[in-house]
Amino acid sequence: MNNILEIYSKVTKNGIQIEFQGVKYPINFGEGIWNSTPVQTCEALKDNLALATTMHLPLIYKKKKIIYYSGRPLLEPYFLQNFLKDIPSCTEVDGLNTDEIIYQFLTTEFQFINPEIVIPSDKPVEDPSRALIGMSFGKDSLLTYAVAEEINLEPEIIYVVEQSLTYEEKHKRNLAKEFKKEFVKDLYILNHETGKLRDYNYLNLPKSEFGWGLQNTEYAIEFIPFAYALNRKYIFFGNEQTTAASYMDNLNRWRIYPAYDQSHLWTVHVNQITQMLSGRSVFTGSLIEPLMDMMIQHILANRYPEIAKYQMSCFTENEFGKDYHWCHNCLVCAKMYLLCVGSGINPRLIGLKNDMLKKEYQNYYTIFGGKSDLTYANTEVARDEQLFAFYSAIKKGVKGDLIDEFIKRGLFEEAKSREDELFNKYCSIYEPISLPKELKNDVLSIYKEELSLFEL
């Protein structure tokens, strides 16, 4: 059994419990939420989450077989596609050979002791209406919440605790407390201990990207009990247009999707999943899919400043982020600063205090030739986004060391020659595929109004 991993799972009175190597990892919804979910659906959730939260383990433990003492998951084909599409991004960050990892994954044996597939109950959510928002306090989820409020979807927000994100977790709890106080809005907190199975410090293993690729898909499944308990029709994630961007690896062999399960292309499949798990009553999609990053930042700060002040997009993984929710020493902080000044927003409105156009921050901007460990920052879309944002900032009279560097390198002239192309690319409303049709007119009217006010 040395080359075999074993996963046990069971339904509890408050949710689900996954067991691995003698350690129990509960997913606790709370008795009131969990009891609203049909019994058969609870069993189906257990089988599917057992696989979704652990299917990366054979790769990181280098084992050839994993045994599940549970039923075969209905969603296995979805998880397989999601996982495979994510592998090249993980190997890019981890410095591994993609061919070898895909071979290892496809030759791993996944055995289910009970071969029977538990079909979820066909009972729909009673009188479904209104929305659930997956809240991370990033710009995407905050704008999603703000728009849902404006179009009277009375959104409830769910925050999923990821124990591996030490400083981020601390800051977000503080933000959540203040957010709840100001808006008198309940914050449903989902503690899923299964997140520790991608916490490599906890596992005493080298850090890896594996285990994060199904994060949004996993969250959508975990939101189903909340939909039943709160009579919700919609689940919305902050999946915007940029998340569909991809690029080829250095050998031009594998396509890298930096955030495949956050793309609108995959969100359509996540909607199929939540429909299957809810008697076809719960729709999953994105209210902000029609927008690129820069317009998301602009609309959030310009139209909803009272909400924008809670923004935390930084991962705060370094010591600079220990005491404040922007570390001012990472690529994300630099990007958000640039998006603000490029769109005419004072970065202090979202809590950024330092001038991140100083020379000392140059390495955080890939436009100047650097490459990031965050694969989404290496796409052509991300590079041109910086090109346009710097250009727009200059047109708005912004000054700084990196503005001078941008001009010196001839990037201003490049942007000027491509002005119409870049403006149309980053300041347009894209045709959505994951935005519910019945909400489309209300949502797009907000974006059209805001974009009509934006000028270079």
Note whether 220 and 321 are same-domain residues: no
User: Which phi and psi (to 5°) does residue 67 adopt?
Assistant: -110, 130
Q: Please give the span between the terminal C-alpha atoms of the chain, in angstroms, as a whole number.
A: 64
Question: Would you state the pLDDT for residue 172?
Answer: 81
Question: How do residues 315-335 score in pLDDT, each as one tens digit?
Answer: 777 766 688 999 999 999 999
Note whether 260 and 299 are same-domain residues: no
Note whether 106 and 183 are same-domain residues: yes
Note whether 263 and 318 are same-domain residues: no
Per the prediction, the chain carries an average pLDDT of 94
The band of 30, judged by pLDDT with boundaries at 50, 70 and 90, is confident
Which of 285, 314, 339 finishes a domain?
285
The band of 96, judged by pLDDT with boundaries at 50, 70 and 90, is very high
Question: Would you state the pLDDT for residue 356?
Answer: 97
How many whole angstroms separate alpha carbon 434 and alpha carbon 118?
28
Note whether 200 and 176 are same-domain residues: yes
The total number of structural domains that make up the chain: 2
Note whether 264 and 299 are same-domain residues: no
Token pair belonging to 394: 């200059």
Note whether 163 and 258 are same-domain residues: yes
Question: How do residues 34-55 score in pLDDT, each as one tens digit?
Answer: 999 999 999 999 999 999 999 9
Question: How do residues 375-401 score in pLDDT, each as one tens digit?
Answer: 767 788 999 999 999 999 999 999 999
pTM summary value:
0.94
pLDDT of 371 strictly over 80: no
CA angle (228 as vertex; 432, 198 as ends), nearest 5:
70
Note whether 159 and 183 are same-domain residues: yes
456 belongs to a structural domain: no
274 belongs to a structural domain: yes
CB 199 within 8 A of CB 166: no
The band of 31, judged by pLDDT with boundaries at 50, 70 and 90, is confident
Note whether 263 and 332 are same-domain residues: no
How many whole angstroms separate alpha carbon 44 and alpha carbon 23?
22
Q: How large is the average pLDDT for residues 357-378?
A: 84
Amino acid at 369: G
248 belongs to a structural domain: yes
Where in the sequence is the domain holding 67, given as residue range(s)? 4-285
Question: How do residues 111-149 score in pLDDT, each as one tens digit?
Answer: 999 999 999 999 999 999 999 999 999 999 999 999 999
R_g over Cα of the chain: 22
pLDDT of 289 strictly over 80: yes
450 belongs to a structural domain: no
390 belongs to a structural domain: yes
pLDDT of 422 strictly over 90: yes
Token pair belonging to 99: 């061919």
452 belongs to a structural domain: no
Note whether 305 and 271 are same-domain residues: no
Note whether 281 and 301 are same-domain residues: no
pLDDT of 171 strictly over 90: no
Which of 252, 285, 318 finishes a domain?
285
Question: Would you state the pLDDT for residue 321?
Answer: 65
